[in-house]
């Protein structure tokens, strides 16, 4: 049993969240800068406070615990996240879109979240769990797993475990190397995260200057996205190792590394703050309780960090007791804890999908519904699955609604085959299915979702060569027509003509005169549409059509919209593209930054345009130029206004 006086407990929790606030604010000004920022620290940055999602979500988690108690679920956290967080950048936006469509944790963190799945969004939420379980991160780990699964994949969740382990152990030791070893012992060895963290340590031990260590981290684990976890987690260790227990130098180095500076500074300063405690930070270090600036929709509004720390400790006293932790807080005052009753319903539902949680036009989705009996006694129940509009469940014949009279011992699994109604010609992306159980326990209800795939008509490939020799008859010697232009290498010209094609986004292979809404059939195979249905926003042109090599393609989708609305259309792309909406050219990659006109590193948001969708059907045409062996594209439909929330209810007519 490990013991900690309440006075020390409160002081270290206060120090932890003071570090979070001070470091997050100091790093916020440079968030996203990727240059080496080796500047003196601006002292003013340490004496103010800005809103920061790094802290916002942890305040929200505390409120969930205060309202629902010790036995919260991932769905409790997810529901609060969805309804009470007003912004939706990066992985937050994809979580919200998934959750709004009935794709619940843990799948909400991995489905359709390719760019941000290993971001810093959940490692930065570690402090609340560390402070609720000082010295016992193993007891905190189930909560961390729930937290991280909302919007991230495995390495991000392990990164949150690593930080929480260091912070939790900092209640009992100030030996940085001991904290690092303890943190590493709590994550899988040999992973990319583990290797990145160990590289920071190895470079420090080898005597490298911090700038060289930063370069080694980027060289071996760097990522173009400023919020990607690998470089930033290693930078956190860099700042602590080279900062030498100097709070201001730790913050300065976090800024100097660049990239996700608010997360680096906030997490490193939280660890340092836990070691130092709040009294030292506000006394010897000459800093002050900066207070809170909260953007999430919680009952707590601003106030002091000290008051937040007291409430965290009140919850922690309950958590440690109920979870039978090996840590004991002595001399604790009588405080109002959090609820301890386990209010789990008699039955709980979960859903697993065969493959992606997607249904396609002309195909069926296979879902397994699992009903868990939490009472310990067998019971009978009448189960009903209320199907989303336009869908049927298949059991021998199509039946709707889908009803079962069942006996449930410990657990019951029911396979469901779900498809569109015959004649249904609109595939909505949001499809919510309701589950209802009736019995002596009363009525228990839940939902799950299946995403409708985007339905596109693909036209192409449209082919061109480095020289157009269409007018040269086959019996003629064509070599004379392959004369190089000034500056060209004739040998290269011949090889390119024989071995490849070119893909020019500016060549109109069909009539693109506005209004451009159709791809007329010209009697060739190129203009015969082929239906393609990507399972996620991101798709690869090499995977949706079989032609190998450079070409131009057109993709046409009839997008259904439930209302007239303004939309921020966001296109991710690696190759040149143009987009028309209802006949009007709205995105043209050739008009962007000169360095990006040919191609780009795929992100979710390479190109953006404000557009207007009519109620009902809208024609969207994507023209792409696959210039190499493949090209990646994605399209998002976001609410305008800068909060980066995504619409969940667009669909496809086919």
Q: Where are the domains of the chain?
A: 2-330, 347-452, 456-464+501-653
Encode pLDDT of 4-52 as tens digits: 999 999 999 999 999 999 999 999 999 999 999 999 999 999 999 999 9
Q: What is the mean pLDDT of residues 630-640?
A: 97
Q: What is the mean pLDDT of residues 523-529?
A: 94
CATH code given to domain 456-464+501-653: 2.60.120
Q: Is 398 a residue whose pLDDT tops 70? A: no
Give residue 597's pLDDT band: very low, low, confident or very high (50, 70, 90).
Answer: confident
**What integer pLDDT is reported at residue 480 of this predicted model?**
86
Q: What is the mean pLDDT of residues 556-583?
A: 98
Encode pLDDT of 357-378 as tens digits: 999 999 999 999 999 999 999 9
Encode pLDDT of 342-351 as tens digits: 989 999 999 9
Angle at 590 between CA 585 and CA 594, to 5 degrees: 150
Give residue 264's pLDDT band: very low, low, confident or very high (50, 70, 90).
Answer: very high
What percentage of the chain carries pLDDT values higher than 70? 99
**What integer pLDDT is reported at residue 396 of this predicted model?**
45
407 Cβ contact list (under 8 Å, min separation 6): 378, 379, 380, 381
Give residue 395's pLDDT band: very low, low, confident or very high (50, 70, 90).
Answer: low
Q: Is 393 a residue whose pLDDT tops 80? A: no
Encode pLDDT of 222-238 as tens digits: 999 999 999 999 999 99
Q: Is 332 a residue whose pLDDT tops 50? A: yes
Where b means 16+ CB within 10 Å and e means fewer, 342-360 reads eeeebbbbebebeebbbbb
Phi-psi category of residue 495: left, alpha or beta, with phi > 0 → left and psi -120 to 50 → alpha: alpha
**What integer pLDDT is reported at residue 399 of this predicted model?**
55
The CATH H-level superfamily of 347-452 is Immunoglobulins (2.60.40.10)
Q: What is the mean pLDDT of residues 150-160?
A: 97
Which pTM was predicted?
0.95
Q: Is 397 a residue whose pLDDT tops 80? A: no
CATH code given to domain 2-330: 1.10.4080.10
DSSP H or E stretch at residue 267: helix 261-276
**What integer pLDDT is reported at residue 245 of this predicted model?**
96
Q: What is the mean pLDDT of residues 622-635?
A: 97
Burial bucket for residue 486 (CB in 10 Å: 0-12, 13-18, 19+): exposed
Which residues partner with 3 through β-bridges?
Answer: 328
Contact 147, 122 (CB under 8 A): yes
């Amino acid at each position: 049993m490990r013991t900690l006086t309440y006075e020390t407990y409160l002081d270290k929790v206060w120090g932890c969240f003071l570090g979070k606030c001070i470091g997050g604010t100091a790093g916020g000004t440079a968030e996203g800068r990727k240059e080496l920022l080796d500047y003196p620290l601006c002292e003013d940055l340490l004496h103010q406070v800005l809103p920061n999602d790094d802290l916002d979500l942890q305040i929200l988690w505390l409120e969930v615990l205060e309202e629902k108690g010790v036995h919260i679920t991932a769905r409790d956290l997810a529901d609060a996240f969805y309804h009470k967080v007003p912004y939706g950048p990066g992985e937050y936006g994809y979580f919200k879109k998934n959750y709004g469509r009935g794709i619940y944790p843990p799948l909400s963190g991995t489905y359709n979240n390719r760019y941000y799945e290993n971001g810093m969004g959940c490692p930065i939420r570690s402090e609340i769990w560390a402070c609720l379980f000082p010295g016992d991160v193993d007891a905190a780990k189930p909560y961390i797993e729930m937290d991280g699964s909302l919007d991230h994949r495995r390495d991000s969740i392990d990164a949150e475990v690593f930080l929480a382990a260091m912070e939790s152990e900092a209640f009992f030791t100030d030996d940085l190397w001991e904290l690092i070893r303890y943190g590493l012992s709590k994550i899988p060895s040999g992973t990319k995260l583990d290797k990145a963290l160990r590289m920071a340590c190895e470079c420090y031990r080898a005597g490298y200057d911090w700038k060289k260590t930063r370069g080694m981290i980027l060289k071996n684990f760097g990522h173009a996205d400023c919020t990607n976890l690998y470089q930033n987690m290693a930078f956190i260790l860099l700042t602590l190792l080279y900062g030498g227990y100097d709070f201001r130098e730790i913050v300065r180095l976090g800024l100097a590394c660049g990239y996700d500076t608010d997360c680096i500074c906030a997490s490193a300063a939280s660890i340092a703050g836990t070691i130092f405690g709040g009294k030292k930070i506000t006394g010897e270090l000459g800093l002050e309780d900066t207070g809170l600036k909260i953007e999430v929709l919680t009952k707590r509004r601003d106030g002091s960090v000290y008051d937040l720390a007291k409430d965290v400790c009140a919850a922690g006293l309950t958590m440690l007791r109920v979870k039978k932790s090996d840590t004991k807080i002595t001399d604790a005052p009588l405080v109002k804890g959090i609820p301890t009753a386990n209010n789990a319903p008699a039955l709980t539902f979960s859903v697993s999908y065969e493959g992606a949680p997607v249904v396609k036009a002309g195909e069926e989705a296979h879902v397994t519904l699992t009903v868990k009996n939490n009472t310990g006694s067998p019971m009978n129940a009448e189960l009903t699955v209320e199907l989303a509009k336009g869908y049927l469940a298949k059991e021998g014949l199509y039946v709707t609604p889908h009803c079962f009279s069942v006996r449930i011992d410990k657990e019951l699994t029911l396979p469901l085959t779900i498809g569109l109604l015959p004649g249904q010609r609109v595939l909505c992306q949001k499809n919510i299915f309701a589950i209802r159980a009736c019995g002596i326990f009363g009525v228990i209800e839940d939902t799950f979702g299946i995403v409708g795939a985007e339905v596109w008509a693909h036209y192409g490939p449209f082919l061109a060569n480095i020289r157009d020799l269409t007018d040269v008859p086959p019996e003629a010697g064509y070599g004379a027509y392959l004369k190089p232009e000034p500056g060209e290498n004739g040998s290269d010209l011949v090889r390119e003509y024989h071995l490849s094609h070119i893909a020019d986004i500016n060549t109109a292979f069909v009539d693109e005169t506005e209004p451009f809404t159709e791809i007329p059939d010209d009697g060739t195979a190129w203009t015969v549409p082929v239906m393609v249905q990507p399972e996620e926003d991101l798709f690869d042109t090499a995977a949706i059509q079989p032609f190998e090599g450079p070409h131009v393609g057109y993709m046409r989708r009839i997008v259904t919209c439930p209302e007239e609305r303004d939309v921020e259309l966001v296109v991710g792309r690696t190759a040149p593209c143009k987009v028309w909406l209802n006949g009007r050219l709205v995105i043209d990659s050739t008009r962007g930054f000169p360095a990006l006109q040919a191609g780009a590193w795929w992100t979710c948001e390479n190109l953006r345009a404000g557009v207007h969708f009519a109620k009902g059907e809208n024609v969207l045409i994507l023209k792409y130029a696959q210039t190499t062996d493949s090209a990646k594209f994605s399209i998002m439909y976001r609410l305008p206004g800068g909060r980066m929330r995504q619409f969940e209810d667009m669909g496809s007519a086919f």
